[in-house]
Amino acid sequence: GAGVSQSPSNKVTEKGKDVELRCDPISGHTALYWYRQSLGQGLEFLIYFQGNSAPDKSGLPSDRFSAERTGGSVSTLTIQRTQQEDSAVYLCASSVGLAEYNEQFFGPGTRLTVL
Amino acid sequence: KNQVEQSPQSLIILEGKNCTLQCNYTVSPFSNLRWYKQDTGRGPVSLTIMTFSENTKSNGRYTATLDADTKQSSLHITASQLSDSASYICVVSERGSQGNLIFGKGTKLSVKP
């Protein structure tokens, strides 16, 4: 595709339910990043992938959060037993290489609301 | 602690006027600094990226400056347009971090006719 796509664009769920967020990076981009943007806050790093491996999971806020990437392309971010504080916009970005040196391209985000 | 602070938090200007947004950071060791524009409901889009050795970079009506000694950056917008209304985010990369970028909270700019 022309850019990074994310689905769903909006997700409303009840507290305690599991949710799965999807990211399709730009074709050929080996690095993929997940961020969380809470209202009035800056983007918070969650996890990044280089290919299929995730060298840095330090940003995941709890063990309810997990992510995987298969085939070096699509990634899913799973939140188990959602809590109200998980409500935020979840952004995905990809880059041709590590983001320290390369431009990141962001998707439109998934707005998650936990009731 | 690595931090990026932006000011002002919000700004309202009239169409056609210029404005300057500020960014101070404490990230060390420094790799590069970026400015992003984020329209409401969209992901951020890169405007400029500057390394340690660069002190100014332009992208159309946007000009970013960097003073690595004082750890300050500014984004100057010339002849503002209504479409410039957005949040402008300063992002600093720590050398060797491999990708954990540090984001400021952004300045929300509103351009009024």
Q: What is the pLDDT of residues B18-68, one digit of tens each?
A: 999 999 999 989 999 999 999 998 999 999 999 988 999 999 999 999 999
Mean pLDDT across the stretch B74-99?
92
Who wins on pLDDT, A100 or B111?
B111
Interface of B with A (CB under 8 A): 4, 31-32, 41-46, 49, 89, 93-101, 103-106
Closest-CA residue of chain A to B32: A100
Say yes or no for a CB contact (<8 Å) between B99 and A59. no
B-chain CB neighbours of A10 within 8 Å are none
Local confidence band at A58 (pLDDT 50, 70, 90 cut-offs): confident
DSSP helix/strand/coil, B64: strand
Percentage of chain A beyond pLDDT 90 is 73
- What is the distance between the alpha carbons of residues A114 and A41, in angstroms, rounded to a whole number? 18
Question: Do A13 and A112 contact (CB within 8 A), yes or no?
Answer: yes
Please give the structure tokens belonging to residue B101: 């970028």
Alpha carbon distances (Å) from B10 to B7, B35, B42, B53, B108: 8, 16, 18, 30, 4
Candidates A98, A106, A107; nearest CB to B98: A98
